[in-house]
Each structure stands twice: as C-alpha cells, then as structure tokens.
Chains A and B, each alone.
Chain A
C-alpha cells in the first residue's frame, strides 16, 4: 500500500543515489494514527484528513513489538505522530508502554483533549521517570490566522486543549509552521507568548518549523523547484547528523520509513522490520529532503547535537 495523496515528487528518484547512513537510531517515530486526522489542514505535508486511510492506525501490540526491538539498538527517544494520535483508541495504553522504555513525545492538535484525558496523561507522566512531551500544533496567533490553515473552530478547540493541559501542569511545546516572512518571526513569537499567557501558560515552549512544500502545502503555496534537491556536492563537508534520517526511522502499520516527512514515498520505505531498516542508508532524493538539509532536523524536539548549552 503506497500513499496516493502525497504531493507530486519531481525528477527521477532512481538517479545515482544521494544517501545518508544511519549513524545511530536515536529517535524512533511511530505513525500511530496513520493518515487519519480530525482536521484537514491546508498545509499538511501528508494530506491527513478523516477520509485519508492510506495508512491505518497502529495497534498497541505492533507498537510494543517495535519498542521491544528498539532496546538492543539503544534508541534514545520515542515520538508518536499521525494524523492525530488521539484518534487512535489505544493511544493511552501505547503511551503507557512507551514511557516504560524511554522519553516519549506526542505530536497532537490538542483539539480532542477533554479534562479526563489530560488527567490520565498526567498520571502516566507522573508514574514514569521519563519525560512525556506534548507537542501541540497551532498555526497562528489569532483565530483568523490559525483557522485559515487548520479549519474553522480549530483555534478555539486547540486553545481549550492547551488550557486543559496547562491546568494539569503540562508544559506543551507549541509548534507552528512559519507561514510568514522570516523577518516577522520575533514579532510572531512575542504574539504566541501573549496568546498563551491568556490561557494561563506563563512559560511557553515554542517551536517554529519551516514549511514543507509537499502534500497540501504544495497546493497552498508552491512545490519545490527542480533545483531544490540535495546533490552529492552539497554533502561535501556537511554534518549529516543535521538530517533526521541519519538518526531516526518511522514505524508505520505498513513498514518502516526513513523519516516522518516521507511517509508513503516508495523510495523512502526502508524495510518491513526495524531490524532490516537500520542497515540501509536513507535516500536523500526527495525534494522535501532539501528543507531538512537547509533547516536541520526540524522534527526533533531539540536540534541535532542538542544545542550547545553550557
């Protein structure tokens, strides 16, 4: 089963391979709700929606098997994405399992976050020595700005979700795709801080992502130009650790992919099992690899190398 809804992939994917070897499998990602989402965002790089069943939910048992397989490999952290992970009816059990293995992050739109769920998540968090991070997607500092991308009503429901999480002492990482000129980022960050303060989030954690010009976003703005490709020359002297696929793999209900961005791209399907998937290098031939190359592993909570604090 391959994903038919992805944005068009330009060029010849079989040309002399530009690849990245896996230096260590630090991050194991799970496409836990497949391509099923309760929203239909106009920037979604994998075109998720309620009707997109190209990739189906993962079962708890499948996730557990991959978690177990990750132990001898020495995986450092686990990420759960979709679609909307909370559409998966087994998600709380899945997170409970994952937290026994390591630090766990869920990427959610927080629009289906009733109080009792937030309370149960808080219990899971408190029972584990590992961090449970909730990364909440919000794409604007106003209702108009956000809903133009995420759909009518999404802003209010997301803000309610954030408020519910904050009331349970979560410190969600608010994630936003940059849909404005770069020079406006500081102003937008200030806007987010003010907005989040209004629901009681007084020490917000913010993450701004560059747009990925595939899927719905390619229709909303533009696709990649033919010149926006990684070439062999571009990799000379480049720190490959900046690329997510040098440190991560994505587990889905239908095989292992190089990264969460390239879900459904035939050339990015590495293998049927994790064991096999860690041996092969990831192809960097897709146009979206260009954004990862330019911006560094944008999907992780922290930049490659973990930043350089002191």
Chain B
C-alpha cells in the first residue's frame, strides 16, 4: 500500500501477508511542507542505489504550500505512512492539540495548523486519510516496522535521552519486529538496543535538527547480515528560497528563523533536558 501510486514491485505491506524484502532503503521523516528539501532528498537518494523510498509521515505543518509535496512523493514512488499531523488534517480536527503551556507556542501551533488545513486540497486530505499507520517489510533478514512516533502510539516521542534500551526491547517484543523506524521528534538517532535489534529515528526533512546547521536529514539504511548500516544524510537545499516563500505566506517569523539559522525557536518544551541543552533556545 503505497502513497498515491505504488512503487515498482508492489511495495511493503500494511497488513498481514508476505512482507516485501529490501536490501537498502532511504527513509524520510517529517516533511512539514518543505517541498524544496523533499525534492533535494529525492534527488540525493536517486544516486545512492536504494531499493525503495519511504516517508514516515507529517507531510504538512510549519512550511508553505502543503499541496506541493504530494506530486513529488507520487512521482518518486515514495511509500508513505500517516503522522499525527496528517491524522489531524485528514480528520479535520480543530487544531493539532499541541497542549503547550507557553501561550506563544500555542499561538504558533494554531496559526500553522490553520494555515496547513486551509491550504491542503480536499483531494490531498483524502489521500492523507488513506495512509496506513504502519508498514512492515524485511531488510535483509530483519523484520522492520516503520511507524511515525512509536509502534504503539502515533504521537509518542522517542528521544534519544529518554528512551532506554529495555523499553525499546519491550516495543520490539510487543510488536514482533527487529527494527523500528520512526520520526516525530525531528531529531535523528540510531541505536542497537539489543543484539541485532535496532531503533532508527530518521530525523526530519522539514526543519533542521536544532544544531545551528541549515541542512536537514534523512537516513539510508542497509542490511548487512543481521546487522544494519545506518547513514544519516545531510541534505542542503535552497533554504533561503523556502524562507522567502514562508514569509510570502505570512507564516510566523520564528519558523522562518529556524529555517535560516538551524535553531529551533518554538515548541521547545517537548524537548528533554539533554536535547534542549544542545540547542540555542
């Protein structure tokens, strides 16, 4: 079950059945309407000899003109799952339910959500509704579960500093997989939490990783026997042009600054202290 049109070979399966096997894949995290970074990532991945492209959801939010990411995903044959933002937009919820205590964060979240909702065509909203919540496939001999937040909850944050190994083992056990792929936090990391069992947060294409760099990140993942090679690929793109578009769409200047500086400026209270301390704000 792939996003609008399937990739050659039928794609991974969202339900029971024989899972498709790959050897080397490219996985994108949240796009947040950053169509420029998405296009750059698709072009970059084309040179990396991968069998399939995946996106782990959150197509909209934050950036300009959400409809622009859809044709890029379709043309590249990217297999997409649904993120929490997609879920809210598809179901027409009032807002993204961020629940921040900082009134400033709440206001930005509301603005961004309303803009994304109003700018996503009905046709694309329906596409979001049809996206599966997870995909299962094989990478070499490993069973992979691709999800947005965690295998048990679409909006669960798995930060590097707050996700112990034994908790990942429980998730892998409960959901019968060797490898969990996720995004949602926007910060990439990977860990072999027990022998031949991996968690990979593929990062996000939508905004930089709060590290003062304007590049964004995706993951190229390759099976190597029962091991996994994970490469986090930095993607440079015309971020200044994206910033110009965001201003044209009257999106919050704080969001624009994140694109231009590589530092997160809003919605910071979701970060655990270790991750927060690495940022500027």
Q: Does A77 contact B (CB under 8 A)?
A: yes
Which residues of chain A are near B9, meaning CB under 8 Å? none
Whether B167 pairs with A307 at a CB distance below 8 angstroms is no
Q: Which of A102-133 contact B (CB under 8 A)?
A: 102-103, 125, 129-133
**A interface, by DSSP: helix, strand, loop or mixed?**
loop
Expressed in whole angstroms, the minimum distance between the Cβ of B157 and any Cβ of chain A is 4
Which of B58, B152, B155, B171 is close to A307, meaning CB atoms less than 8 Å apart? B155
Whether A309 pairs with B98 at a CB distance below 8 angstroms is yes
CA distance A133 to B275 in the complex (A): 12
Q: Does A71 contact B (CB under 8 A)?
A: yes
How many contacts A-B (CB < 8 Å)? 116
CA distance A123 to B228 in the complex (A): 33
Q: Which of B179-200 contact A (CB under 8 A)?
A: 184-186
Whether A132 pairs with B273 at a CB distance below 8 angstroms is yes
Whether A308 pairs with B84 at a CB distance below 8 angstroms is yes
Whether A102 pairs with B273 at a CB distance below 8 angstroms is no
Whether A307 pairs with B99 at a CB distance below 8 angstroms is yes
One digit per residue, 1 when the CB lies within 8 angstroms of any chain B CB and 0 when it does not, for chain A 131-162 equals 11100000000000000000000000000000
Whether B273 pairs with A303 at a CB distance below 8 angstroms is no
Q: Does A30 contact B (CB under 8 A)?
A: no
CA distance A208 to B103 in the complex (A): 13
One digit per residue, 1 when the CB lies within 8 angstroms of any chain A CB and 0 when it does not, for chain B 254-281 equals 0000000000000111101111110001
The interface stretch among A11-19, A199-207, A248-256 is A199-207
Q: A77-B162, A189-B101, A307-B100 are in contact. Are A205 and B269 (CB under 8 A)?
A: yes
Number of interface residues of B (CB under 8 A): 50
Q: Does B170 contact A (CB under 8 A)?
A: yes
Q: Does B160 contact A (CB under 8 A)?
A: yes
Q: Does B49 contact A (CB under 8 A)?
A: no
Q: Does A171 contact B (CB under 8 A)?
A: yes
CA distance A301 to B155 in the complex (A): 16
Expressed in whole angstroms, the minimum distance between the Cβ of B6 and any Cβ of chain A is 27
Q: Which of A74-96 contact B (CB under 8 A)?
A: 74-77
Expressed in whole angstroms, the minimum distance between the Cβ of B264 and any Cβ of chain A is 11
Whether A305 pairs with B61 at a CB distance below 8 angstroms is no
Whether B167 pairs with A74 at a CB distance below 8 angstroms is yes
Number of interface residues of A (CB under 8 A): 38
Whether B273 pairs with A133 at a CB distance below 8 angstroms is yes
Whether A101 pairs with B98 at a CB distance below 8 angstroms is no
Expressed in whole angstroms, the minimum distance between the Cβ of A176 and any Cβ of chain B is 11
Which residues of chain B are near A303, meaning CB under 8 Å? 99
Whether B167 pairs with A75 at a CB distance below 8 angstroms is yes
CA distance A242 to B124 in the complex (A): 32
Whether A133 pairs with B101 at a CB distance below 8 angstroms is no
Whether A306 pairs with B103 at a CB distance below 8 angstroms is no
Which residues of chain A are near B161, meaning CB under 8 Å? 103, 129-131
Q: A306-B155, A310-B32 are in contact. Are A171 and B277 (CB under 8 A)?
A: yes
Expressed in whole angstroms, the minimum distance between the Cβ of A91 and any Cβ of chain B is 18
Q: A305-B155, A310-B84 are in contact. Are A75 and B32 (CB under 8 A)?
A: no
Which residues of chain B are near A207, meaning CB under 8 Å? 101
Q: Does A237 contact B (CB under 8 A)?
A: no
Give 4 nearest A-B pairs by CB, closest first.
Answer: A74-B170, A102-B164, A131-B161, A103-B162
Residues of B within 8 A of A (CB): 30, 32, 58, 61-62, 83-85, 88, 96-103, 149, 152-153, 155-157, 159-164, 166-167, 169-171, 173, 184-186, 206, 267-270, 272-277, 281
Q: List 14 A-B contacts (CB under 8 A).
A: A76-B162, A77-B162, A125-B273, A130-B274, A131-B272, A132-B273, A169-B277, A203-B281, A206-B101, A306-B149, A306-B155, A307-B157, A308-B88, A310-B58
